[in-house]
Amino acid sequence: MRDSRNARVFRRTATSMKGHSFLHVIKLVSPFVMVVVLQAAIAGFSLEVMSSVRAYVAGEALWSRSQKNAVYFLNLYLHSGDPGQFTQYQASLAVPIGDEFARWALERDPVDVETARIGFLQGGNHPDDVPGLIWLYRYFNRVSFLQEAIQEWRATDPILLELSVFGELIRSELANGPIQDDRVQFLSSRLSELNTQFTVHARRFSAVLGEGSRAIKLMLTGINILTAAALILLLVWHTRRLVRQRQTFEDALHAEKERLAWQASHDWLTGLSNRRAFEARLQAELDNAATGALALILLDLDQFKSVNDSCGHLAGDRLLCQVSRLLQQDRHAHDLVARLGGDEFGLILPRCSPFDAVDIAERLRRSLELFNFTWDDRCFAVTASIGVACIADGNVTLEDAMRRADAACYRAKEKGRNRVQVENGKPGVLAVTPRPREAVAARG
């Protein structure tokens, strides 16, 4: 009997101890769990807010760029009457108008979410960003920075309306025949004024968003630091789990590095390699020049200044882009075409014999000679002075190679332009004469 009572007491005691132990564990862990849950909630909220703000920043860039494109194409249409330019103007204008419709839908009572979604999609925003755009506007539009940004956004409504009316006005006037020069000048001037007004509001919008984004980031960072500190006080050994680099950040950093690397080595206008990349490649080829022939071609456009002076910088830029595409035609994968600055271009032709180099230069000269550049119904003949330097050994420095090719190009200009001049009489540079163009096909 005594043993039986002792057994029952033991079992009750054991059960009580187990229950007490479980409650003790819960008591110890619950603060940690609460902090972790709070940390997760804050982190999720932070990501959602920052993602939505980022979406607005990205949308603003597209919104502003599309408006500028609309003004640009409408101005082109005003001067050319090309219906294709008017179509591009309409497509560009549809982007800021779509964003405007989305904002109107969100300001209705009740809110028209579906119309807002359609408007943001018309505005070129990524479909995954649209819910965040709607959410941020609906629930945070009274936050100071967003409220100020929205005011700048609303201020562009009359500008967009006038730009839209302008487009229809210009189209109707062109339908009745050519517009007088003074009228064209007035309309073009007004378009420029509208673009300036829009740019002011767009810059303020972007600046306010940037300031708000930084403020939110700072605030959320502070909150996260406080919760992390509380977590450290509860369980120090868990802090390591809270410190992890996010793969998305690394991917974004890598993509940014690639973008900056591309910008550092390419010309923004033509997309060709720039002088820095050209000289780096030339130096590398000169270091290996002993293993094969190397040709360097420098090309100066003869009529670029007249186009620039008579038609403006837009025409000059268009000419440079068209010439760039022409220079890249039929080039080998290991060739390099670069814009060195202004109207000067350079070509590096590895494993290219002197005869092939001269043939290629002559073909480029002939292609440019046959190419006519048209701007505002004006046609310009385009020619080039071309200098060729053929490297025969590995003892030529980069400066020597550039100087010789440049000297040849200068002599081509002196001799009347629109010609190919080959550097000769220098160590390491061969004097050559052209051979039939069929020989170029054998180059590999």
Q: Give CA separation, 307 vs 92, 299, 304, 419, in Å.
A: 28, 17, 5, 20
Distance of alpha carbon 238 from alpha carbon 257, whole angstroms: 33
Write the CB contacts of 181 (distance below 8 Å, at least 6 apart in sequence): none
Angle at alpha carbon of residue 405, lines to 404 and 411, rounded to 5°? 90
Catalytic one of 99, 129, 302, 343: 343
The reply to whether 82 belongs to the active site is: no
Among 436, 402, 408, residue whose Cα is nearest residue 422? 408
With tokens 């620039």, the residue in question is 308
Lookup: tokens for 414 = 């002196």
**Is the peptide bond prior to 427 cis by the omega test (within 30 degrees of 0)?**
no
Burial call 1-35: b when 16+ CB within 10 Å, e when fewer: eeeeeeeeeeeeeeeeeeeeeeeeeeeeeeeeeeb
Q: How far is CA 95 from the centre of its chain?
A: 18
d(CA 183, CA 174): 11
Task: Give me the amino acid identity at 12.
Answer: R
Q: Can you tell me the distance from the alpha carbon of 197 to that of 305, in angstroms, rounded to the nearest whole number?
A: 32
**Which positions are annotated as active-site residues?**
343
